[in-house]
Structures are given as C-alpha cells and as structure tokens.
Structure 1
Amino acid sequence: MNSKPDTAEIRRPSPGGERLKKRYAAERRFRLYGLCSILAAGLMLVFLVGSIVGTGWSAFLQTYVKLSITFDAEYLDPAGTGDPAQLQNADYGGLMKKNLRDNFPEVTGRSDKRKLYNFVSPNAGYVLRDMVIADPALVGKTLDLWVKASDDIDMLTKGYVDRTEAEDNRRVSNAELAWYDKLDNADRVETRFNTDFFVNADSREPEEAGILGAVTGSLLTLLITLLLSFPVGVMAAIYLEEFAPKNRWTDLIEVNINNLAAVPSIVFGLLGLAMFLNFFGFPRSAPLVGGMVLALMTLPTIIIAARSALKAVPPSIREAALGLGASPLQVVTHHVLPLAMPGILTGTIIGMAQALGETAPLLMIGMIAFIVDIPGGFTDPATVLPVQIYLWADSPERAFVERTSAAIMVLLAFLIFMNFVAVLLRRKFERRW
C-alpha cells in the first residue's frame, strides 16, 4: 500500500523559490530607490527654478511716478535763440531738481533735498533732454510726465522694504515714505513692464541696467565660436574616422581629444590669455578673442559627437557607394556625411550651449569689464550674459539681486531653446537602420 505523504514536507518551500522571492524583492527595492532619486532630483530642480523665478520676476516690472514738469527756459534756452547746441548742453539735471522741489514745496532742509533728488532715477534728466531735442517747442511748457523712480522706491513698491523696521535699518527714510504715500494716494505711482531691461546695456543704476549689451556680446562671441569650431571639428572627425590609419599616433590623438573634453574651462582661458592677448596682441574683452577661446573649448565636444555620428552610418552605405565606383572622398561627402549630419548638428548645438554658459575662460581674457555701450563689431569691448550675471551678483544693491535672477532666467531660456532645437533636428533627420 502507498503511504500518504507528510503534509509538512509538501508545504516546505524549496530553496529556489526563496531565492526567487529575494530577487524580486531586491528588484522592487532597486526600482523604489530609482524612483526616489528621480523625485529628489525633480524637487531640487523645482526648488532651484522656483527660487530664481520668485526672485527675478519682479525685475520685469519698473515703478514710475507722475510729476509736473516745467521745461523752464531759464535752464534750457535763456537767450531764447532755440540753438540746438544750447538745448543739447543745457542743465537738465538742475532742471529735474528744480521740478522736484516744485512738486514737493514742503521740502526745505538740505538733507531732505538730497533725499528728494534721489527719489527718481539719476537718468531722468537725460530723458528730459531727449524730449526737448525731439521737440524744441516744449521749452516753456508744463506737462505731467511719468518719470522712472529710483531703485529704492522701486523696491518699496514691490514690497521689498519693510515699513515696520526702524528708519536706520532700511534704505527708504520716513520722509521718502511720506512723499511716496502722497504720490500713491493721488494715483501718481504706476508699475509698468520694464522694456529697458531688454533694450539697455549695463549701468551702475539698477533701474537703468539692461541685458542687451551682454546678449549682443554673447551672440557675436558664439558666432565666432561656431565659424571656427564647426568646420575644423567636422573635418577632424572625418579624417580620424574615415581616412586616418589605425596606429599608435592616431590612438594618441584620440586619447588627447577625449582628455581635452574634460579639461577645466579656465585652462583654455589661460591659453587664450597667453597666446591671443600676450603673444598675438588681439584686443582685450573682445568677442573675437572670446570666440576663439570658446572654439578651442568646444572643439573636442564637436569632434567626439561628429565621430559618433559617422560611426552610426552603416558600413553597407560605404560598401555600396564604393561598389558603384565612387572614390573614398565621394563616399564621405555624398553619402556618409549627409546621413551623419543630424547627429553632428546635435552635438554642435550642445557644444554651443555649453559655450554660451561659460564664464571662467572669458574672465581670463578681460571680458569682465564694465561695458555701458552695446558692441557694434567683433573687436569692440563687450561682455557676455554669464559674466553680466556674475557682475550683478557682486553688486550690493537689492535691485541688482532681482536683475541677476532675471538675467539667469533669460540665459536658461536660451539654453532650453538651443537644446530644444537639437532635439527637433535629431527627430526630423535621424534615420534608424
């Protein structure tokens, strides 16, 4: 007779089943760790972008105050001749101060007058000058005009000045608060979109500072970088991948190219300082020199990306072209290079985006200079957007803090746009073999 099997032996799990459960549990833990890592990175990114946007959005707004302005002929044209040279060189700063005293006749003390003169932007007189030069008939007239407020009053409007603090602990005095409240109660304070932030160059006055000079310098520098690095990088990649013999010398070149891609960017700045400025004598703080330095830094990235794109083209393409009688050069130029171009362009754009955000190499060649004019050529003194951000971040005024964050937002927008273009090019032209 067959005996009935022991129940305990039937239910005892096999060693293989235990190991399988452990592997599944380990896999679940690994997935959980990966998900937690992605969430942590996402939270950090949200916190970073949120802090930048939260600090910088107010820089796109500017406070204006409405004042009654008299274009007094005593200041502008005392002889009554209407001479354009006289109108050009008139004392518009004194005219602005006189109008401020007229709008606040209760201000009599010397100290209060100095504070009153700082109530509006120091460049308000230049605005009056431009108006008179454009229309000399304004001389002798009185108009209600919106005048740009100073950076301290702008910070007060945006809520960055705590009225409850002691007067000695805030930049806006009690007298200035009274003047501000007087204008605000009369609906003579207004916040507008700050167009000057996009059309002005740098300035020592935060309310007048803009990014156009830095953006123009960045574009000129990147244009030089592209013109130098793209053709040289692509030709170097084609030679190394398609024509160069495989020996110890080409291996050494490949190793050095890979090493150059990892060299700190400030080393390229030192090279540019020694070669382009000290040896060749090129102008300092110029987009020409900046573009040459960034081209040296970008070359390894473009070469590596171009070689990867060339490797991705199937050998059958080359063999078919050679079988039809094409020369090796025709094979590369007519068949391989067009198929690899999407990958090459993607790598180039990524390299240019990296160059756009570089600061250290440009500091070494003098592009840290304070530039108030918009560069008009490749040899004019200029700065770039990352260096502009660095300069503003070092300024003590609270208004420059928000402009620093706003400039970072503009820089990030450029970088995101360039990476978006790279993704579009890859999706549009990429072929899967």
Structure 2
Amino acid sequence: MTDKIEKMAQEKRARVRASLAKRRGKEGRFRFYGMGSIFLAFTFLVLLLGSIVSQGYTAFYTTEIRLTVDLSEENLGIEGKPLNDETLKYLGYRSVLADAIFDAMPDVTSRGDKRELFRFLSNGAEYDLRDRVAANPDLVGQEVEIWALAGDNVNQFNKGNIDGSLPESYRQFKDKHIGWFNQLKEDDRVRTVFNSRFFTNGDSRDAELAGIWGATVGSFYTLLVTLALSFPIGVAAAIYLEEFAPRNRITEIIEININNLAAVPSIVFGLLGLAVFLNFADLPRSAPVVGGLVLTLMTLPTIIISSRASIKAVPPSVRDAALGVGASKMQMVIHHVLPLAMPGMLTGTIIGMAQALGETAPLLMIGMVAFIVDIPSGPLDAATALPVQIYLWAENPEKGFVENTSGAIMVLLAFLALMNACAVILRKRLERRW
C-alpha cells in the first residue's frame, strides 16, 4: 500500500514538473514573440526615420555661385532716371547677372548654350541682387562680388541627388552642364552654405526658393485658435460632467457621444467645417481661424476625456475637507480640485494639440491647400499649414521638392517630439502621488 501511494505521488510530481515545463515553455515563447514584435516595430521605425533623414537633410543646405557683377548705370539702365527706392526695384538686374555668368564662362559662346548657362542661376538671385542694391544704393556704379543662388538642377547635382553616371537621356543635367559646373568648381566659384531660405521663405514654384515659414506661421495661428477654444471649453465640460451633472440617461448619452467622437475619422470634422463654417457661416476660406475651429471640434473629445480622468484622480478626501470647512461646491472645485487636476489636464491638452498639429485631412476639406506665397499676418489671412505644405510638395516630382518634403517632415516630427516631451516633463514635475 505504501509503495502504491509513493508511486502515485511520484507520478503526480512528474505530471506537475511536465506541466511546469510546458508552462515555462509557453511563457518563454510569449516573451520571445513580444520581444520580436518590439524589435520588428523598432526596426521599421528606424528604417522610416532613416529614409526621411537620408532624403531630407540636404534641404538644409544649398549651392551658391560666385560672380562679379558690374553695377554701372549703363548696365542697370539707370541713365536719366532718379535714384530712389521705386526706381531701384525695376532696374536690369537680370541682364547684369547674365553678363556676370557669361564673363565667368567665356568658352560658352552660342546663344542656346548661354541660355542654358543662365539657368545655372535661380530666379531668386535676381531678387537678392535687387534687395542688396536697394538696401545700399552706393553700390550703383561699382563692380561687386556676390554669391548668387544656384538653380535647382545645379543645386541637386552639387548635393549628389542627380547621378552623373546615368545615361544622359535619363537626366536633365546633361554632360555639357556637368562640364560647366566642374569648370566653375575648379575656378572656386561654387560653395555650399546653410539654406536659411528653407526656414524663412514661404512656398514657391522654385524648389530652391521654397520654405516652410509661411506654413509654420499658418500652423501657429491655427493651433492658437484651437488652444484658445478647446482648452476652456474642454475643461469646463469635464468639470460639469464630473462634479455637477446629474447621473441620468441624458448624461450617459452625452458621455457615450464624447467617447465616440474621439474615434471619428478626422475628415468627417473637415466635412462638418466645410458645411457649417464655410458654406453656412461664410467664414473666409483657407484661413487659420476656420482651421482652428475645425481642429477644436476634433480635439475637444481628447481634452474632455483626459480632463475627466484627472478630476477623478483627485482623492474624495480633498472634496470632503473643503466642504467641511464651509466652502461651496463651486469654491471646492475651483480652489481645490481644479489645481490638483490641472497637470493631467495640461498633459492631455498638449497631446491633443500635437495630434491637431499633424492633421491634414480636415484642413484639406476647408481649402487650406491653396498655393500661398505670402506669410500670413493674422488668423484671418489666407494660409496653409505645415502638414498640408508637406502634402503639396509630395505631389511634385522634382528632386528639389522631394528633399523639401522630407526636410519639412523632419521639422514637423521635431515639433511633435518637442510637444510630447513637454507633456511628459509637465506631468512628471506637477503630478502628485496620493
């Protein structure tokens, strides 16, 4: 009998050990699958960021060509004209630049070749020279050495984005152009400099002149309107629902709808903005104020949900203590609950604003997709936004706009990372543990 019991116990221990081994094997496989998933996701993220950076970092520098321009009155066509600001705007800067680059390359003699050589200069070179002379009229009558902005093909070839080893028929920058470029480089007439225009200019048809400043200002005004509306409305709605609203069927329906609105596709809010703010209210199309109103509707559910969660996290003892010393319910909420819940509210608001910063679809629906060169001076001026600017550039097949697209994506990702970092730091610094 004792042997039989001992045998049964041994069999039971064997079954338990086998079960434990099987369970540990399952846990090990699950851990492996989890680590593999994380590694795979991280690999795809690195590949994506690597692709963006490899194509976009060249947008942050540009090419210039050194020229000696003759700003004599004869070349500028200024004889007999008064030397004032109005006159200096409309002088022959184009012909002065053409003569300068022809003098730099005297071997180029045919009319067709000269026309192609002149395209080595960007249209912006003429405006730069005009602005320089307008700022310093004493330059008239002198020979001045300048660094003129190169055209897009020259710029892309200098950056290595045009492969000179490809057959000539596969590229716009022909063999003779490469020879001219090499000659200019041997004469120390080519340099690479930081592309400040990318950060200070608005949009342009010329890739080397296009910048993100106009879209950045448009995004700023759009987010300013969004923040000014969504934060107070969202916080007020959260306070009412958590502290004052009666628990009935109507309140339940409101809460369900708020949760559902957080999952509605953003383009639906764009359609709503198109129907209400543009067609019905007749607000200006492509204006940041309309974009801010649309993004306010989209951001409100996120702010309300996060604000309600922050209010719920405040211990009931804080409310009881405030009411116990004679505070009214409103005083209890304003002076005690709200300050303690504010860190979570601000964190949710920053995350919602970061989400709004990256939205494109609702802004496309309200017309913020227009080609706008001027920098907006207010929320009622026509403008575009940074994500929409990226969308517009992505549709252009020119190599200059390809690098501009990736460069703008890098800037947008930097803004998003900064906003999320601010949310994390704010939560860590201000949150209280109970």
What TM-score does the superposition give when structure 1 sets the normalisation length? Answer: 0.96
1:26-58: per-residue Cα shift (whole Å, max 9, x none)? Answer: 111111111111111111111111111111111
Structural RMSD (CA): 1.8
CA contact (8 A) 1:73 1:140 kept: yes
SS of match in other structure, 2:377: coil
Q: Is the 8 A contact 2:58 2:403 kept in 1?
A: yes
Query: Which residue is 2:72 aligned to?
Result: 72
Structure 2 contact 93–130 (Cα < 8 Å) conserved: yes
Q: CA deviation at 1:4?
A: 8.3
User: Which moved further from structure 2: 229-238 or 61-70?
Assistant: 61-70
Contact 1:72–1:95 (CA<8 Å) still a contact in 2?
A: no
Contact 2:198 2:211 in 1 (8 A): yes
Higher mean displacement: 183-192 or 165-174:
165-174
Which ranges of structure 1 fall in alignment gaps of 5 or more residues?
none
Contact 2:63 2:150 in 1 (8 A): yes
Distance 1:60 1:382 in 2: 23
Aligned to 1:289: 290
Letter in 1 for 2:308: R
Query: Partners of 1:82 and 1:44 in 2: how far apart?
Result: 61
Counting only pairs closer than 5 Å after superposition, residues 23-42 of structure 1 correspond to structure 2 as 23-42=23-42
For 1:246, what is the secondary structure of its paired residue? coil
Aligned residues: percent identity?
A: 56
Q: Distance in 1 between matches of 2:413 and 2:94?
A: 39
Q: Give 1:106 shift.
A: 2.6
- Measure how far apart 1:90 and its partner are: 1.2
Structure 2: which 5+ residue stretches go unaligned? none
Paired residue secondary structure (2:208): helix
| Match runs of 1:310-329 below 5 Å | 310-329=311-330
Structure 2 residue aligned with 1:220: 221
For residue 87 of structure 1, what is the aligned residue in structure 2?
88
Q: Does 1:273 align with 2:298?
A: no
Alignment of 1:26-425 (within 5 A): 26-76=26-76, 77-79=78-80, 81-425=82-426
**Is the contact between residue 302 and residue 348 of structure 1 (CA under 8 Å) also seen in structure 2?**
yes
Alpha-carbon distance between aligned partners in 2 of 1:428 and 1:179, rounded to the nearest angstrom: 60
- The CA deviation at 1:103 is 2.3
Q: 1:214 touches 1:385 (CA, 8 Å); kept in 2?
A: yes
Query: Post-superposition shift, 1:6?
Result: 11
CA distance in 2, matches of 1:42, 1:85: 58
1:112 touches 1:175 (CA, 8 Å); kept in 2?
Answer: no
Q: Is the 8 A contact 2:370 2:384 kept in 1?
A: yes
Residues 321 and 7 (structure 1 numbering): CA distance in 2 closer, same or farther, change over 3 Å?
closer
TM-superposed deviation, 1:8: 8.1
Instruction: Quote how far apart the aligned CAs of 1:324 are.
Output: 1.4
Contact kept in structure 2, 1:285 and 1:382, CA below 8 Å? yes
Q: Which amino acid aligns with 2:383?
A: A
Q: What is the total number of aligned residue pairs between the two structures?
A: 432
How far apart are the structure 2 equivalents of 1:420 and 1:3? 68
Q: Any idea what SS the aligned residue of 2:68 has? A: strand
| Aligned AA (2:88) | L
Aligned to 1:276, the other structure's residue is in SS state helix
Matched residue SS, 1:207: coil
Counterparts of 2:375 and 2:339 in 1: how far apart (Å)?
Answer: 39
Separation in structure 1 between the aligned mates of residue 366 and residue 270 of structure 2, nearest angstrom: 7
Query: Which amino acid letter does the alignment assign opposite residue 90 of structure 2?
Result: N
Q: Is the 8 A contact 1:73 1:80 kept in 2?
A: no
Between 1:361-370 and 1:134-143, the stretch displaced more is 134-143
Task: Identify if the C-alpha distance between structure 1 residues 20 and 134 changes in structure 2 by more than 3 Å, giving closer, same or farther.
Answer: same
Distance in 1 of aligned mates of 2:416 and 2:248: 39
Q: Which moved more, 1:17-26 or 1:260-269?
A: 17-26
Cα distance per residue 1:359-383 (max 9 Å; x no partner): 0000011100011011001100101
CA distance in 2, matches of 1:344, 1:369: 35
Measure, in 2, the Cα distance between the counterparts of 1:179 and 1:141. Answer: 27
**Please, which moves more after superposition, 378-387 or 104-113?**
104-113
Counterpart residue identity of residue 262, structure 1:
A
Deviation at 1:99, TM superposition (A): 2.2
- The CA distance in 1 between the partners of 2:347 and 2:222, in whole Å, is 20
Cα pair 2:368 2:385 within 8 Å, conserved = yes
Partners of 2:74 and 2:63 in 1: how far apart?
30
The answer to whether the Cα contact below 8 Å between 1:71 and 1:95 also exists between their aligned partners in 2 is yes
Mean Cα deviation higher: 161-170 or 338-347: 161-170
